[in-house]
Structure 1
């Protein structure tokens, strides 16, 4: 099978309050044409993880002919970095990221032909907030490992921490309490958490390694919105309750999470309860990155959902 055509480009992004010109970097895998299926726009996690780990979704282009649109959200990857905005909660907002997504949709002229959105983790939170605004052209929505409530997510992380070996949990709690997120001791213990509840594959896929590198390289958005660790949200997202607007989502929606996910079932359930047209599948062989851990099943579920 020949590889689908791939194009990369940039477009200007007028980021409110940025104080400098910004750009959005994006990649199209496949061909956008009237004869092709509606394209899938992907929203990566983090904030600040970059598009890299979502490259697994190229499977959908190769096997099902679905054009794929990958892009780096503002503040990470090959889009404009804004380290000077560290800690500025008035800048790093849902409105900022939704504006960037809307400008990409308009630039690619997808309003009339239609498009789908897949958001993973933070990208799923963003996708739910975007869909709740009723954007013209949005057909279907996939939310993978997406918390419906950050207070519930924080509770789930405490439960997951309790599942770790006692010494690992102690190190994470003590280091977190004293603000130590850089020591070898903390990083080693955090790696155990990630191995259990974020990606259980060994070795880690190279695109996931790149994702971790992206956040370490520029943690501006992540530190401001999430905090300094995966398992304790202390940033501006800490009180977010996205399910409260989910009744406004009109697009048919597929919810996915993993049996070992840090986004446990009770963190997803409010979306299932409030979204109008919704299906929910928990993948038994996965944690947080099901598109890698249970790849064939994930692609089957998403491909069938987008093409039926």
Structure 2
């Protein structure tokens, strides 16, 4: 394992490379958020059997710099950052695995600079902010009425920072984010790696109404331009619903689609062995 920092626009980002000397095309992982980190994805190092696996914390979170400059929190700058990480690590050819917001970033990066990208894995994809918002409002209707009312009232009254809202969000998360009981202790310990401010600027105060600068992001009409092998995955109970994930897959010419039947949004933690198996099978087919 090798770790270090790379200079990008706005500061330095922290990276870790597992199995750096492997011969096969490396896998670059783009974590979720915005403003989260690669902390919860560390288990993907187990994919580094015969290829390098590269994880990095995007600027503003994790072990990377946290500059106090809101002009940095834009999709275009994060796209630029991916290119700077690739250049800094010499990743001329690469597979990309994006999770959640990381799929937004993976798609936007591919459309800006597809050279050298051998495949993309869209894990629990968010490729349309309006559709994501619509899906979460639909998911809300599956929760108890008091939880629905609390979330609705807090959003309308601007009280999304209250304990009542946080308690309601925990119920939502238990259904659609991670269904493991009890919630993994090591994930709780990684909470300090997050930067909620970046999420606030780019998305907004909650999952359910997009108010940040990603509000209009929607690349569904461009998915037909992705000609490389593409894998779409999600959990059966995912925020990134199976219906929307399959819809994205249907728009992509050379795509396959897989649902993790026992998972919500964090299949790599909820069903880690099956998740790794699906990823390895996809990547191994491309090696052949």
Regarding TM over 0.5, the answer is yes
Q: How does 1:52-201 map to 2 (within 5 A)?
A: 52-61=39-48, 64-85=49-70, 88=71, 91-111=72-92, 114-201=93-180
In the superposition, the TM-score normalised over structure 2's length comes to 0.93
User: Taking structure 1 as reference, are residues 249 and 211 closer, same or farther at Cα in structure 2, changes over 3 Å only?
Assistant: farther
Paired residues of 1:132 and 1:246 also in contact (CA < 8 A): no
CA distance in 2, matches of 1:291, 1:275: 23
Number of residue equivalences: 285
Distance 1:71 1:195 in 2: 27
Give the 3 Å change call, closer, same or farther, for CA 133–84 of structure 1 in structure 2: closer
| 1:29 maps onto 2:14 in alignment | no
Question: Matched residues in 1 for 2:186 and 2:20: separation?
Answer: 23
Are residues 226 and 211 of structure 1, via their aligned partners in 2, closer, same or farther at CA, if it must alter by over 3 Å? farther
Q: What's 1:245 paired with? A: 222
CA offset at residue 133 of structure 1?
2.9
SS for the counterpart of 2:73 is coil
Tell whether the 8 Å contact from 2:203 to 2:212 is kept in structure 1 after alignment. yes
Secondary structure of 2:108's counterpart equals helix
Distance between the aligned counterparts of 1:231 and 1:293, measured in 2? 23
In 2, Cα distance between the equivalents of 1:120 and 1:227?
A: 19
Distance 1:95 1:32, change over 3 A: farther
Q: Structure 1 length as normaliser, TM-score? A: 0.87
Relative to 1, partners in 2 of residues 1:205 and 1:37: Cα closer, same or farther, differing over 3 Å? farther
Question: Aligned-residue CA RMSD in angstroms?
Answer: 1.7
Q: Is contact 1:53-1:210 (8 Å) kept?
A: no
- Displacement of 1:66 in angstroms is 2.9
Partner of 1:281: helix, strand, or coil? strand
Q: What is aligned with 1:7?
A: 2
Q: Which runs of 5+ in 2 are unaligned?
A: none
* Residues 152, 266 of structure 1: 8 Å contact kept: no
